[in-house]
Every structure is written in C-alpha cells, then in structure tokens.
Structure 1
Amino acid sequence: MFTVGAGAGAGWAFALGTALLGAALSPAAEALIARLLPRLGGTPVPSARITTAALTGVACGAFALRFGVSWTLPAFLFLAILGVQLARIDFSLHLLPNPLVLALLAGGIALLLAPSTVNQHADNMLRALLGMVILFAGYLILGLISPGAIGMGDVKLAAPVGLYLGYLGWTHLLYGGLLGFILNGVVTIAVVAQKSRKDATEVAHGPSMLGSVLAISLLIP
C-alpha cells in the first residue's frame, strides 16, 4: 500500500494506470465470455459495456491503491475484472455461471499462492482456504434453510468470496460476510421502494457479495 509523502503522487499515478488497464481489459473479458458461453446471449449492449468497463476500472484502481506494487495485486485485479463480469451477468440474468465462478476460485487460489510462496506467508493462504470453506458452508446452510432467499449460485460464489476475504484476515471475513447481506438489503429496499409489491422482482445477491470484498479491503487495513 502506498504511504503519504513523496511516493503518494507515484501511488496515484500507478492507480490511475491500473484503472485504465482494467477498463481496457473489460471488453476483452466480455468478448471471451460471450465466445465461451454463448447461452448468456453474447456481448451486452454498449451502455452496459461502458458501465462495466468503468466499474472494472474503479475497482482495479482501488485495489492498486490498497496493495500497491505487490505480489498480491494481480490476484485482486483478477477478482475485479472477472468479479464485475459476474456481477453484470447476475444483475441482468439472475445467473452465476458455474464455469466463471470456478474460474474465479481456481484463478484466485493460483494467484494468491504467489505472494504466499515468495513472502513465505503461508498463514495467509491457509486462512484464505479456511475462509473459503467457512463462508461456503455458511451460505450452504442458509441456502438449504431458505432456498428462496439464497440460490445455489450464491452458495458457490461464497467460496471465492470467502477465499479473498480470508486472505485479508479473519476480521475481513467476518465483516465482509455480513456486509454482503447488508448491501443486498439496502438494494432490495431501494428496488421495492421504486416498484409496487406486485411488480417487485428478486434482487441479485451476487453483486453485493462481490462488492463487499472491495469495500472491506478498503475500509479495513
């Protein structure tokens, strides 16, 4: 993470460059997903693509400020790029495709192994794997108890979300898991307030889960 002082300007410049890189990689990710998963309906409309690229850029820039030039950053940039795509798909289709969730999980494990190996912080990786299991198990229990509120896609997404939150720390895992439900509750209230009870639709939970990782990584050192 960049500190205030002489390096602050370089830190913001690095974050801006990383944000632009993330925004540029967003259309490439969309094209690849459309090619590999044509059942999703191809690439989204231009307005959605612009919004997705902007969100990806913001997330990448925020992670660059948080982690700086480090072995950890590539893992979180991967989360930003693929996570925003998953949020977009879940928001529009209420679907979290298994291949993309699995790719986020496998890619996250592989990329998080790098800092653990180089810096010999094996405890971070062990905590990440435990976080993956804990959050997945928690969502699975909730999904079985209340299948109408938690879908199996959300249960599967809990594994990579728990992986990243667990890597950051136990506090991050606890508050990140809770924040996902809080964000979803706020969004649900906003949607219901704008629609009648008859017209109200189910609110996708995936975007709130993914957004909690970004928020917690920035709010908790």
Structure 2
Amino acid sequence: MFDTAAAGSASPLFIVGVGFAGLCLGLIADALVRRVLPQLAGEATTRLRITTAAVTFVLSALLAWRFGSAAELPAYVLLGIFAVPLARIDIEHHLLPNRLVGPLLGAGLALLAFASLAQGAVGDLIRGAAGSAILFVLYLILALTSRNGLGMGDVKLAAPLGLYLGYLGWAQVFYGGALAFVVGGLASVVLVLKNRGNKPKEVAYGPSMLAAGLAIILLLP
C-alpha cells in the first residue's frame, strides 16, 4: 500500500530541496531532448529555459508535498520532469515522440516496481499495470472510432499515465481519464475563441492528458 504516513508530512526544506533537484534534472533532461530530438526541441532561448526550470521546480515541489518521503516519490518526480518537454513538443508539433513516451513508461515501471517491493505492495504495481493496459486500450478504441480526435501519440501516452494513476488506485484511473477529456474540451473552446471562431485542424491533446493526470495525482487522496 502507498505510505500515507510519509505523504503530506514533508518539511518545507525537503519540499524545496526536491523542487531544486527536479529543476536541475529537468534542465539536464531538456538538454538531452535537444541532443536526441533536435528537430523537435526548438530553439534553446533564455525565456524557454527559465520557463522549463520554473515549471519543473513547481511540479517537483508539489509532488514532494504530496508524497513526502514515500518510496514512490522518485517515480512521480520523473513523470513531472517528462511532462514538461512532452507538453511543449505536442503543442508546437502535435507529436508525442516515442523516444520520450517509451522511456517514461519503462523508467516509471522500474521505479514503481522498486517502490512496491520496498513496501511489500506488489498489488499496487499489478493494479498500475492493469490501469496502463486499460487506459491504453480505451484511448486506442477512441482513436480508431473518432474523427479528427485522438492521435496514436495520445494512445501511447495513455499507457504511462495509466500506470502512474493505477498505482495509486482505480479512482485515480477513472478521474484522471475523465478529467483529461474535460480539460481537452476546454482547451479546444479556448483555441476556437482565440482564432475568432475558426476551429483549428489539430488540437494538442497530450498537455491536457498530462495536466489532468498530474492534477488527480496531486489532489485525490
């Protein structure tokens, strides 16, 4: 079981420390993304680097507040670090590269497996794997049956999100998946209003999935 005693009991110093650690790791990850995917990473401007550092710091600090010193913390900080370049690339290119989604799933599975073994909670890991499969299949069905909707990148991203949500509980899987559609719908409305009533041909859905998943992870007990 998830260590609720460790969650929410972290000191401010610990939270800030994890935030700075996430910031540093986020900048390293950003540099690696630029090396591996130079055509997608975009220009490394000072503004972009500051934004990346700030968002990663906030996400890592919030996750430290949520999980405290629980063994699951590194896995969820990893999710926060990956979420930043994934969202940025999807917004700019309408693409969720396999070279980011695949490692997020693999590394997340490894870190959560370690956490579950350390706490004798293998059932949480099994539920996470089931959540990953369920969300993946659900998104695949929606992608195959909807017009101008989900892309295969969104389907692939559903697998690691389902893993992280499922590890915490079935309620997280349900609400994380449902909230993603709500956030995605709101984002589409905002884009239509911004474009003066002209609906864009493509709407990046990955950021909505990531934002919804992280919100549920942070807020749902």
Q: TM-score, normalised by structure 1?
A: 0.92
Q: Is the 8 A contact 2:19 2:61 kept in 1?
A: yes
Is the 2:157–2:206 contact (alpha carbons within 8 Å) kept by the matching residues of 1? Answer: yes
Structure 1 residues without counterparts, runs of 5 or longer: 4-9
Deviation string for 1:60-99 (max 9, x for gaps)? Answer: 1111001111210000011111121111111111110011
1:87-98 aligned at under 5 Å gives the runs: 87-98=87-98
Q: 1:199 to 1:121 in 2, by over 3 A?
A: closer
Partner residue, 1:67: 67
Of 2, 22, 30, the residue aligned with 2:8 is 2
Query: TM-score, structure 2 length as denominator?
Result: 0.92
Output the CA distance in 1 between the equivalents of 2:59 and 2:94.
Answer: 22
Q: Which aligned pairs between 1:145-164 and structure 2 lie closer than 5 A? A: 145-164=145-164
The 3-state SS of whatever aligns with 1:150 is coil
Greater alpha carbon shift after TM alignment, 82-91 vs 160-169:
82-91
Residue aligning to 1:177: 177
Following TM superposition, by how much is the alpha carbon of 1:190 offset from its aligned partner in structure 2, in angstroms?
Answer: 1.3
Between 1:184-193 and 1:124-133, the stretch displaced more is: 184-193
1:143 and 2:143 are equivalent in the alignment: yes
Structure 2 runs not aligned, ≥5 long = 1-6
- Following superposition, the deviation at residue 211 of structure 1 comes to 1.2
Q: Which amino acid aligns with 1:131?
A: G
Q: Which digits, 9 at most, give the CA deviation of each residue in 1:33-67, with x for residues without a partner?
A: 11112232555432222222211111111110011
Read off the aligned partner of 1:11 and give its amino acid letter: S
Instruction: Quote the sequence identity (%).
Output: 47
CA contact (8 A) 1:15 1:62 kept: yes
* Paired AA for residue 116 in structure 2: S
Closer/same/farther in 2, CA of residues 174 and 41 from structure 1, 3 Å limit:
closer
CA distance in 1, matches of 2:50, 2:166: 31
- For this pair of structures, how many residues does the alignment match? 215
Aligned residue identity for 1:2: G
CA distance in 2 between counterparts of 1:41 and 1:219 reads: 30
What RMSD over aligned residues (CA atoms) do the two structures have, in Å?
1.5
Residue 86 of structure 1 corresponds to 86
